[in-house]
Homo-oligomer: A and B are copies of this chain.
């Protein structure tokens, strides 16, 4: 993937809507071209292919998540309080970027098998939360767990599944409504 000229990033981000709706394979390059206003040949000039475009979107949303989580982790309070902030931050990113979030969920398996995406997921969520869990064990606000990475993964799964589920056309409800039960569940799960 080539370095993008100014403005291209925003245009390509608009393709998230398509991928969220139909997934990578249900989306045609022509559709991407039409939706973004960037001609097919130009897309191929900058990206290695359709999958590369999707990967770009995933990295963007994961970096966004990473920034939000890092902000929550860096806040004030006990580890437990900051863990709550992390969950809310994650829900906030899902709410702010619903299309990209749903696209990520749609092609989750593909994403999980890409080393690049796996690395970004880890850096954005798993690793910060793991570290927060260990901090909580030290400051006494959280229970000590045997495998903090594993529990961090469980938390990621719980939040992502619940948040995205709330976004489906069927169950569409404001994420604020789900936040209470979800944060309580997660916090209780690791409370001291």
Interface residues of A (CB under 8 A from B): 23-25, 102, 105-110, 112-113, 118, 143, 145-147, 150-151, 153-162, 165-166, 168, 170, 177-178, 180-182, 184-186, 188-191
Contacts and interface: CB of A to CB of B under 8 A. Distances in A.
A67 to B, nearest CB: 22
Given A107-B109, A158-B158, A161-B160, A185 B153 contact: no
21 contacts: A23-B109, A24-B25, A105-B108, A105-B109, A108-B109, A145-B184, A145-B185, A146-B180, A150-B181, A150-B182, A151-B182, A153-B162, A154-B159, A154-B182, A157-B159, A157-B160, A160-B161, A186-B189, A188-B188, A188-B190, A188-B191
Contacts of A107: 109
A173 to B, nearest CB: 9
**Most chain B CB atoms below 10 A, which of A154, A180, A186:** A154
A119 to B, nearest CB: 11
A47 B157 CA distance: 33
A50 B29 CA distance: 22
